[in-house]
Each structure stands twice: as C-alpha cells, then as structure tokens.
Structure 1
Amino acid sequence: MAQLTPFGPGLWLLAAPLKMLGLQLGTRMTVIRLDDGSVVLHSPVVIDDTLAKEIEAIGPVRHIIAPNTFHHLYVGSARDHWPEARVYGPEALKKKRPDLRLDTYLNENADLPFASELQPVTIDGTLFHETVLVHKATKTLVSSDLLENFPDCDHLLTRIYLKVNGVYGKPGWSRILRLAYRDHKAARASMNRLLALDFDRVILAHGVPVERDAHDVIEASYKFLDS
C-alpha cells in the first residue's frame, strides 16, 4: 500500500501509476499542511479510505487543487471524501469538466486564502493553463506539468519517448510538449515572474522531484521561449 512520503516540513508526496498513450509516465499528489493546521491537496490521485485516514492525520482537508487542465481526474472523488473543502482550478477547466464544480478559479490574481504561504504564478501562453505554487517555508515549487525528470526508466516505449524528446536522464521539458506553448512572449513573462521568486526544489508529476538548483533547471529548460 502506497504511503505519503515527507518532503520537508509541511509537505508530503504520493506517486501513483499513470499510463497515457502507451507511456508509463506516472503522476504525483502533493499534500501541504498550512500554518493553521489545515491541508491542501494538490493534484489528487485515487484516494481510498486508508489514504484518506493518513491525510486526515495530518489535518483537516480544506482545499483541493486541480493545478491545470490535465491534472483533474480525481478532484471530484477527493471532494466526495471532503465535501466541505473548496475546489480550485483554471477557468479553462469548466469547459472540459462541466461536471466539476470549481469554487474558485485558480490564478495568481485570485483571492486565495493560502497565498501568503503558497505564492501562485500562472504560466500564461500555454494549453495547460497551469498555476504553480511556491511553498515559501521550504523554498519548494509545487507544480505538475512544468518539468519532467526521469533519471532512468525500465519501460521501453517510455524510454524511447524520453530519449527522442531530450529528457532522459536529466530534468527538462519535452520537445514535443513545447508545442503547447502557443504564446512565447506571454510564457516568458510568466517564467520571469516565477524565476524572480526564492525556491530551490521542484515537485512535479512525471518523474522524480528536482531537489536542488531548480532555478537553473527551469531557466535552461525554457530557453526555447526566446526563439
């Protein structure tokens, strides 16, 4: 049975399997305990009763986040576990998931009750519509689809995908997924705002977290925005 893994004070992670187009890319949920003791679920995975109890031992779940228009599959079921929690997601998600009630649209200008601890930056100009969060206490960037990081991979098709797209054995952003960045100028402005903040680690959905030199990794991964 998978269990939450601590990732610094107030942060826990849970990796889960995920197949997409024959690729085994995995996914990841982040659990964040705020200063008031309440809990934020970022990009929920499947939550059974055992995992729900483990999360509740950290604190009451009051916030559930769909960080972008791709990481939303289990947000509804998370709300079923915690119906009093507020749900946040990008406005673009309402067309894709009309069944999913969003209490607050997630963006850096929204009135987010946790913004003093989790500073939001919306990455504009992309099809992902993601808002990333900087956990100030641990200098950790909480994201889903900002980087991929596979030091190794024993699944042949996935390994081929990673090698062809320049992200095998090192953190970066897949060449094919660069096509999702439609407005380079807007995206560059977002990245500049992000890189002005103080963080050194990145939590991501696909692969393993980046635990040092996060600024340098992101800066190098997004040089393509300048072309």
Structure 2
Amino acid sequence: MLTERADRLWTDEEPLTFFGVELGRIMTVVELSSGGLFVQSPAELTPDLQRALEELGDVRFVAPASKLHGHLYMEQYRAAFPGVELLAAPGLAARRLDLQFDGLLGDTPDPRWSADIDQVAVDGHRWLTEIAYYHRQSGTVILGDVGFHIGPSSPPKTRLVARLLRIYRRISPPIEFRLTIANEDTFRRSIRDVLAWEFDRLIPGHGEIVETGGKQAVADGFDWIL
C-alpha cells in the first residue's frame, strides 16, 4: 500500500486507465516536522489506505498538483480526518464548487510546511498551472502531469502511446502540452526554478519513480524548452 522511499517520505502507486491506456498514478505522503502528514495527489481513500495513513500520523494537509491532477478524492479525506485542510491549486476552486478549500497554493509554501516542503508554480501554459513540490530532507521532487515518466515496465500499449507522445523513458509532459505553452519564457523560468533545488529522486505524476539521477532526468526531459 504505502512504500517508504526515504525517512518521512512514502508513496502509493495506483492503477489509472485513461482512454484505454494504463498510465498509473502516484500519491506522495510526507511526514512534517510538526508530526502531521502532507498528502500530495491523494488516492482513493480505501479502508486499508486510511488505516495505513492513521498509523503514520494525523493527515493535516491534502494538496493536488493542479486543477486536473490529484483532486478527485479530496472530499473523502475531509470526511475521514477531522481538522484536515484541503488546498487548491490554481483554477481548482472553480472546478470543484462542491468543496470548500482552506488555502490556495502558489509559489510560496505555507510556514506550516515550508521547513520540510518547498514549492514552485510551473506556469506559462495556456490553461494549466501546476505546483511542483520539493521534499528537502530526502532531496525529492514531486510532479504531476508536467512529469510523466513511462518506462519499460508499462504494458506494450502504454509504451507505444508514450513513444508517440514523447514521454517514453523521459521526464516530460505529453507533446500536446508542449504545443500549447503560451509563454515559453515563463515556463522555462519555472523549470529552472525546479532545477535549482538539490534533488536526486523524482516522483512523477504517472509512470515510474526515478530513485536516483532525477535532476539530470529533468534537465534531459525538458531540453526542448531549456
């Protein structure tokens, strides 16, 4: 269920099929210095997952990557964990009118988690702004749809589609995302902000986790904009 990747860092990898293609999705859990849990891109809260989280600590913050990635099950966490705060990525509040959010995510981390997690708003796309996260202690960057990483362990159909979208064995968004960037300078600056972090591990929104060499993988995957 939860895999420990480093001290105070866990992931949960779940299947996700999109238009018949298995992409997988990854939830990341960080234990904060305060003892609470920061959950990024929450997975469906099954009884087993809820028990696993409760064993780690109190779920304090639940955050998506963007208005499209990592918000589908947020309401389950509000129902299950008293006192949890749901955080909105840019544009998400307008999409999820059924939810009351407790904060808006941007370039600056909240002081309640800034000692453990930094963040950057990856901006410049025509209709999507994504929040990239950096877990300081473990040297880990956490992405969403900006960072696909489809590798050889994926099914044959997924690998074929990934090659067509130029995300096979690369940390990168699909080709259609690249073609709809409205401000290349702003997007380039956002990726350089990510690369300014000292990280080795890279947790993508979909696909395979890069346990080492993540910084070079990001630089290689975004060579088309850098």
Which residue matches 2:90?
A: 91
| Partner in structure 1 of residue 191 of structure 2 | 191
State the AA in 1 paired with 2:9: L
Q: Counterpart in 1 of 2:152?
A: 152
Unaligned runs of 5+ in 1: none
- Secondary structure (helix, strand or coil) at the match of 1:224 reads coil
* Larger CA deviation: 109-118 vs 26-35: 109-118
CA contact (8 A) 1:128 1:180 kept: no
Q: Among residues 34, 37, 40, which one is paired with 1:39 in the alignment?
A: 37
Q: Does structure 1 residue 76 correspond to structure 2 residue 71?
A: no
Q: Distance in 2 between matches of 1:115 and 1:198?
A: 16
Once superposed, what is the RMSD of the aligned Cα atoms?
1.7
Q: Is the 8 A contact 2:170 2:221 kept in 1?
A: no
Length-normalised TM-score, structure 2:
0.92
Q: What is the distance in 1 between the residues matched to 2:41 and 2:198?
A: 23
Paired residues, number? 224
State the Cα deviation string for residues 175-201 of structure 1 (Å, max 9, x = none): 233234322111111112221111111
- Counterpart contact for 2:200–2:211, Cα < 8 Å: yes
SS at match of 2:224: helix
What is the rounded CA distance, in whole Å, between the counterparts of 2:182 and 2:212 in structure 1?
29
Over 3 Å counting, the alpha-carbon distance change for 1:180 and 1:21 in structure 2 is: farther
4+ runs deviating over 3 angstroms: 153-157, 169-173
Does the CA contact (< 8 Å) of 1:145 and 1:205 recur in 2?
A: yes
Q: Does 1:107 align with 2:106?
A: yes
CA distance in 2, matches of 1:148, 1:12: 19
Identity within the alignment, %:
26
TM-score using structure 1 length: 0.91
How far has the Cα of 1:172 moved from its partner?
Answer: 3.5
Distance 1:102 1:65, change over 3 A: same
Q: Secondary structure at the match of 2:225?
A: helix
User: What is residue 26 of structure 1 aligned with on the other side?
Assistant: 24
Structure 2 equivalent of residue 15 of structure 1: 13
What residue number does 2:51 align with?
53
Q: How does 1:131-170 map to 2 (within 5 A)?
A: 131-153=131-153, 155-170=155-170
> Are 1:39 and 1:62, in contact at CA under 8 Å, matched by a contact in 2?
yes
Select between 174-183 and 140-149 the one with higher mean Cα deviation: 174-183
Contact persistence 1:44–1:74 (CA under 8 A):
yes
SS of residue in 1 equivalent to 2:68 = coil
Cα separation, 1, equivalents of 2:114 and 2:181? 26
| Inter-CA distance 96–204: structure 2 relative to 1 (3 Å threshold) | same
